Amino acid sequence: MSTQPPAPLPDDPHLQTPAPFSLAQHLRSAFVSGLITMVPLIVTIWVITFVYGFVTLISYPVASWIVGSQLFEDLLHVPPHSVEYLAPVLAVIISVVAIYILGLLGSFVVGRQILNALDRFIENLPMLKGIYSTTKQVIGVFRRGGGGAGFRRVVLVEFPGPGLWTIAFVTNEIQDSTCGTHYVSLFIPMTPNPTSGFFQMAHADAVRNTDWTVEQGIKIVLSGGMLAPTVLDFGAKSDARPQPPA
């Protein structure tokens, strides 16, 4: 006599009745999913538009004049109404060539002398020298190589209060000439814009070293900590010592 298998319990999760379709929940889920997908695209398009407008600020009028000139029309046999299509492309080409030429000048002695003379001229202008010098120094900090000191390493510092650890970039190492105490200059970036932040000077023993690269530190700041590693040793104190002057 065969025995029947016991009937499954009513609360078996595999046999539970699926939840009824909810139009409001479906619309909300689809909207949130679409928003998550659209936001990176919008930000990317905005950045590209901003960069294009900034790069072609000067080159676009020049490109429009070239495309609209009779000589350009006679050489390439383009109709007059093509100015609105060809001018943006030519503006980008002119900007790229200009940037390349500026970079190329820095690799020659004569070019460096020309750029240095231009720097001195702008830095002597009463209204522009402050903005130009400050911007140049900030770019020199963020760039790596090319004479810029850049960020030396990534550390953790208690900011804005005890027990609150924040990513900071060491920009300089200083020694107190009176007592020999070592300090570090710190740039504490803000999320999600790491180009703005706070400047602090802290005792060398008050910061904690990490094995993160500068690129990793910037990515962690940009992501709001989502890209931070899950394991970190908070016990390693900084062994910062001032570097001898070059």
Judged against a pLDDT cut of 80, whether residue 132 lies above it is answered with no
- With a CB cutoff of 8 Å and minimum separation 6, the contacts of 154 are 167, 168, 169, 170, 210, 212, 213, 214, 216, 217
Give 210's contacts (C-beta < 8 A, 6+ positions apart). Answer: 153, 154, 155, 156, 217, 232
Interval 18-50: pLDDT, tens: 567 677 787 888 888 888 888 778 878 888 888
Q: What would the two tokens of residue 128 be?
A: 């522009």
Confidence category of residue 145, pLDDT binned at 50, 70, 90 = very low
Q: What is the pLDDT of residues 215-224, one digit of tens each?
A: 888 888 888 8
CA distance 58 to 64: 11
CB atoms within 10 A of CB 204: 20
* Residue 216 to residue 222: CA distance in whole angstroms: 10
- What CA–CA distance (Å, rounded) separates 83 from 78? 9
Q: Which comes out higher in pLDDT, residue 110 or 7?
A: 110
Please check the confidence at residue 110 and state whether its pLDDT lies above 50: yes
Confidence class of residue 7 from pLDDT cuts 50, 70 and 90? low
The alpha-helical segments, DSSP class H, found in 146-197 are none
Q: CA–CA separation, 50 vs 52, rounded Å?
A: 5
| Domain positions in the chain | 68-105, 109-142, 153-222
- Exposed/middle/buried for 182, CB within 10 Å: 0-12, 13-18, 19+? middle
State how far the alpha carbon of 186 is from the alpha carbons of 60, 137, 151, 169, 173, in Å: 41, 16, 9, 6, 9
pLDDT at 104: 82
Does residue 77 have a pLDDT over 80?
A: no
59-64's contacts with Cβ under 8 Å and 24+ in sequence apart are: 59/91, 59/92, 59/94, 59/95, 59/98, 60/87, 60/88, 60/91, 62/91, 62/94, 63/87, 63/88, 63/90, 63/91, 63/94, 64/91
Identify the pLDDT of residue 60.
82
Share of the chain above pLDDT 70, in %: 71
Amino acid in position 169 = F
Neighbours of 134 (CB within 10 A): 10
Name the range with the highest mean pLDDT among 9-18, 79-88, 123-132, 208-217: 208-217
Answer CATH for 153-222 from 2.30.30, 2.60.40, 1.20.120, 1.10.4160: 2.30.30
**In the chain, what percentage of residues exceed pLDDT 90?**
1
* Predicted pLDDT of residue 245: 42
